[in-house]
Structure 1
Amino acid sequence: MTGFVTRQTVFFVDDDAELRTANSQSLELAGIEVRAFADAQSALNEIDAGFEGVLVSDIRMPRIDGLQLFARVAGIDPEIPVILITGHADVAMAVSALRDGAFDFLPKPFAADHLIAAVRRALETRRLVLDNRRLRAAAVEVDSPLIGDSAAMVRLRESIAQVARAEIDVLLEGETGTGKELVAAMLHRQSPRAPRPFVAVNCAALPEAFAEIELFGHAADAVPNARFARTGRIEASSRGTLFLDEIDGMPIALQARLLRVLEEREVQPLGSDRPVSLDLRVIAATKRDLAEMVAEGSFRSDLYFRLNVVRLNIPPLRERRGDIPQLFAHFTAEAADQTAQGEFRMTDAIRRRLLEHDWPGNVRELRNFAFSAALGLSEQPDAAPEEGAMALTESVGRYEESLIRETMTRAGGSVTRAMALLQTPRKTLYDKFRRYGIVPEDYRRSRKTH
């Protein structure tokens, strides 16, 4: 590859110069960057697994035809979207190519808007695939991210290996910071779906106003200022794995639509009257007890039972304290690699912290502490507060977190009592739980043991 292809470029291949020019101009007028090729080999010479765009090709061409070109591109990277242009006699071949993984086909003659809409969907799909590849590449210890030799971690790794190859949905339960996304990624990588997309969606972080569009996509002109269709995250994960993180934070209005997707294995974009069939595996994760949420009325019972096919529990760090030294050593080594700080020196204060602290933020908190220790910051006295809005915001946040934690202790873990004491609505309180990593079950457990 020559290296000068920019992001999100369309390679348009057609031996008919007039059609090649006309369709390239239509895409360019829509703001889409295009490179046109008169033959398949010229395009192949500039495509590798890092290609960030999509391919549009006529089927009927000399030497290497569109179907052969599709097969060769699939050999380079099966997730590069390929759109085939077909004459009437080639439709059956195009349908067969769809079954083999082609993204779409356009029967001649087609309107420019149809080409633009198909290309935009393909570009969005490619963007999601590459984004998720980058996220997976950034994960620590890709081959074995779950560090620890405790009995709990050994059982968890065995369960992952057993469940990964089964075509069943999975519910992951675990507190904030325990590594639910890493477990989901391991389930995907060890499954037959590994070459296909792993699409992660944080349900609690989706703005309610845009959640439907983000998940389900929309047809052309279905929403204001959107001339072209958009592929939703659910459709983009077809043939791969859809990871629904913090499913407990999904607005209840969306839960009914998600339930239908899971039951029917099809999605209907907003404004469209044609559902799209899905080949999908779903992994959902929660840091709250969904059964309790069902009892409270904040989570649909039918969705809970649909998700709860196989359940894996990820233990908190306080229940596998024997793994702390190994984890800490791993993270300090990682910090040394990233910061060039040299050899790490253990101190009595750090050792006491590792032995005595309960790690409510779990592995995520331990990693942050390890990086601070590696940088020599862990034993420094608290810095004097800075002036300005940022310091004020941080101080208010610390006070708010402390107040909520104290109230949950007084309430014995009862969310209803804490709501009354704080005079705070349930949704607002749960939003703050998520922000500060507060888990009501921890306070109920504390109440039972004292």
Structure 2
Amino acid sequence: MSPASPQILIVDDDPDLLKLLAMRLQAAGYTVASAASGEAALALVAAAKPGMVITDLRMGSMDGLSLFDALHKSDPALPVIILTAHGSIPDAVEATRRGVFGFLTKPFDSKELLRQVEAATSLASGASPTEARVGKSDEWRQAFVTRSPIMNALLDQAHMVAESDASIFIRGESGTGKEMLAQAIHRASPRRSKPFIAINCGAIPEPLLESELFGHTRGAFTGATRDHKGLCQAAEGGTLFLDEIGDMPQPLQVKLLRALQERKVRPVGATQSIDIDVRIISATHRDITAEMKAGNFREDLYYRLNVVSFEIPSLAERREDIPLLASYFLNLLCVKYHKEINGFAPEAMELLLGAPWPGNVRQLQNIVEQTAVLCTTPIIPTSLVQKALRDDIGSIVPFEEARRHFERDYLARLLKVTSGNVTQAARLAKRNRTEFYKLLQRHQLNASLFKEVTE
């Protein structure tokens, strides 16, 4: 935080919460003023001119959104964070649609509150919207538009790991941003000035994949008319991202393991090995544990790649990001297509918030683009979102991923019906108890949690 950070005005009709907020913010080094109502806040704003406002949503005669509207009539650039114990989809939709900077529910997460406060106060120093969201020291992660505590915790861990040279293994469903995370780690690492090179191991045939990774010499095979430097050499000093590593053919897995152990590669057709200095980040959407059990992926290679592991949450696990992401994509698309669209109708945003999103963030981006292209009004209507969700090809996921979703939902349903009784659930599934426990472990389902929910 800059020493010249602007004053923060906090507004709430709960005196205990006002004290708690003031203590948290003052402990972080901020100057704080407080008001017990929206009307009192407006009077203070005229005299003190704060740099940002944190207000409760539900108050007496003037609620948080009414206060926001009044504040923005005189100062449209003033950042406002709304805090409420009555968090709901309509509230979040309405707040986001009107342009509220942040929206948090009580009991609030102190770390996330301070993160949003720091981002909001940076607007007063003239930072761009992107800089304001992430902070100048966090430029490495600026591609991630999120207010999710889960996602922010993952990014904090990724930043710590980036300083080391440890190999990183990223799990996540298709469309969650595995390559984006790999790029962010590279930008935060000491290797940031060197190349970042990505390759999809499942998109290239086996004979060509070896040549792409390790290179080849002239005459090594038909069509090899010159020496070719492989991607391991091209990424020298930087980061090599192996996407969909779970699809790598087994013979090549052996050669990759040897290259990682010796830190040398031998181009196809060459007799001498070449030293390499690259950091390896790999990723997959597959259940790699199941692949190893089936003999499709080498355990020794997995443990060499999986020094540090990250799992990116699906969009369904961080729904609080949907309004933020939808608005972010819409703003970019308005510039791209030269359109003036102010946002989504409240019912349209509710549809986005409630959709299953099997294609994750990539699918959301496609839906927003489709609606923006077809929209002829200042607000995207519900009908356009309904049609886009119904027609979207991104909702079709790979067979294995669909089966994994089905298994997880099926097991959870059984546990819910049996109140967490594993023996009874296994009997209903016509599986022995040991096998049923293994299925629960594979999908990280804890039977005891269903007992607590039932009780």
What TM-score results when the alignment is normalised by the length of structure 1? 0.55
**Superposed, which structure 2 residues align to 1:51-62 within 5 Å?**
none
Gaps of 5+ in 1: 1-140, 384-393, 415-439
Structure 2: 5+ residue runs without aligned partners? 1-138, 376-381, 411-438, 451-455
Deviations 1:22-43 (A, max 9, x none): xxxxxxxxxxxxxxxxxxxxxx
How far does the alpha carbon of each residue in 1:322-373 deviate from its partner, in whole angstroms, 9 at most, with x for none? 1111111111111111111112342244223212112111111111111122
Q: What root-mean-square deviation, in Å, do the aligned CA atoms of Structure 1 and Structure 2 show? A: 3.5
> Judging changes above 3 Å, is the alpha-carbon distance between structure 1 residues 408 and 330 closer, same or farther for their aligned structure 2 residues?
closer
Q: Which residue of 2 aligns with 1:301?
A: 299
| 1:193 equivalent among 191, 194, 198 | 191
* C-alpha distance 399-313 of structure 1, shift in aligned 2 (>3 A): closer
For 1:289, the equivalent position in structure 2 comes to 287
1:379 aligns with 383
1:412 to 1:279, Cα distance in 2 relative to 1, 3 A = closer
In 2, are the aligned partners of 1:177 and 1:361 still within 8 Å (CA)?
Answer: yes
The answer to whether the Cα contact below 8 Å between 1:232 and 1:269 also exists between their aligned partners in 2 is yes
Deviations 1:117-157 (A, max 9, x none): xxxxxxxxxxxxxxxxxxxxxxxx97511111111111012
CA shift in 2, pair 1:352/1:183, >3 Å: same
In the alignment, the residues of structure 2 paired with residue 406 and residue 175 of structure 1 have an alpha-carbon distance, to the nearest angstrom, of: 11
Determine the C-alpha separation between the residues in 1 that align with 2:282 and 2:314: 18
Cα separation, 2, equivalents of 1:284 and 1:294? 16
Return closer, same or farther for 1:294/1:352 CA change in 2, 3 Å cut-off: same
C-alpha contact (below 8 Å) 2:363/2:394 kept by paired residues: no
Which structure 2 residues correspond to residues 21-40 of structure 1 after superposition, within 5 A? none
Kept after mapping to 2: 8 A contact 1:291/1:304: no
Residue matched to 2:231: 233
Find the counterpart in structure 1 of residue 218 from structure 2: 220
Does the aligned pair in 2 maintain the 1:241–1:280 contact within 8 Å? yes
Judge conservation of contact 1:173–1:285 (CA < 8 Å) in 2. Answer: yes
Q: Tell me the equivalent position of 1:337.
A: 335
Q: CA 1:447/1:177 → structure 2, altered by over 3 Å: closer, same or farther?
A: farther
Cα contact 2:197–2:231 (8 A) shared by 1: yes
1:155 is matched with which residue? 153
CA 1:400–1:325: 2 relative to 1, 3 Å: closer
Instruction: Indicate conservation of the 8 Å contact 1:213/1:232, yes or no.
Output: yes
Count of residues in Structure 1 that have an aligned counterpart in Structure 2: 274
Q: 2:257 is paired with a residue of what secondary structure?
A: helix
Change in Cα spacing, 1:445 to 1:309, as seen in structure 2 (3 Å) is closer
The aligned amino acid for 1:187 is I
CA distance in 1, matches of 2:140, 2:394: 34
For 1:171 and 1:336, locate their aligned partners in 2 and report how far apart those are by CA, in whole Å: 36
CA distance in 2, matches of 1:408, 1:267: 36
Aligned position for 1:179? 177
The sequence identity of aligned pairs, in percent, is 36
Q: 1:314 aligns with which of 309, 312, 315?
A: 312
Aligned mate of 1:260, from 258, 265, 289: 258
Contact 2:242/2:281 (<8 A) preserved: yes
Equivalent-residue separation in structure 2 for 1:382 and 1:192 (angstroms): 46
Other-structure match for 2:360:
362
Check if 1:273 corresponds to 2:271: yes
| SS of match in other structure, 2:374 | coil
Q: Structure 1 399/343 Cα, relative in aligned 2: closer, same or farther at 3 Å?
A: closer
| TM-score, normalised with respect to structure 2 | 0.54
Rounded to whole Å, the distance in 2 between the matches of 1:176 and 1:156 is 18
TM-fit CA distance, 1:382? 6.0
State how 1:380-395 maps to structure 2 within 5 Å: 380=384
| SS of the residue 1:205 aligns to | coil
- CA distance in structure 1 between the partners assigned to 2:198 and 2:188 by the alignment: 17
State the partner residue of 2:324: 326
SS of alignment partner, residue 353 of structure 1: helix
Asked if the contact 1:247–1:285 (Cα under 8 Å) also holds between the matched residues in 2, the reply is yes
Query: Which position in structure 1 is the counterpart of 2:24?
Result: none
Question: 1:403–1:285: structure 2 CA closer, same or farther, 3 Å change rule?
Answer: closer
Equivalent positions of 1:49-198 (< 5 A) are 144-198=142-196
